[in-house]
């Protein structure tokens, strides 16, 4: 992967996180009606890295693979 690819990947990551929330890059994410939220917790969106409850936010490495592009 070139530097440019890597920069694009990071950019896509930031866009995704801003647009779809913290939960969209978390290993515990679930998708309901097009919105990402914590597993089995539809009302909880994006506060999992700060509110101290479980499941706690955990970055999902496979998200970066998805964002690598062609």
Nearer to Zn ion, 9 or 22 (CB): 22
Q: How far apart are CA 16 and CA 4, in angstroms?
A: 18
Nearer to Zn ion, 8 or 39 (CB): 39
Residue in 9, 24, 25, 48 binding Zn ion, rule: CB under 5 A: 48
63 near Zn ion, rule: CB under 5 A: no
Q: Enter the tokens of residue 43.
A: 């009302």
Residue 9 is given by DSSP the state H
Alpha-carbon distances of 7 from 14, 31, 32, 41, 64, rounded to whole Å: 11, 27, 30, 33, 12
For Zn ion, what does the binding mask look like between residues 5 and 44, x meaning CB under 5 A? ------------------x--x-----------x------
Kindly list the residues in this chain that would bind Zn ion in the complex (CB under 5 A): 23, 26, 38, 48
């Amino acid at each position: 992967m070139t530097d440019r690819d890597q920069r694009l990947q990071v950019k896509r990551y930031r866009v995704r996180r801003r647009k779809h929330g913290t939960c969209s890059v978390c290993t515990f994410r679930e998708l309901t009606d097009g919105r990402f939220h914590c597993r089995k917790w539809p009302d909880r969106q994006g506060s999992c890295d700060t509110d101290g409850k479980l499941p706690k936010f955990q970055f999902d490495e496979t998200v970066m693979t998805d964002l690598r592009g062609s």
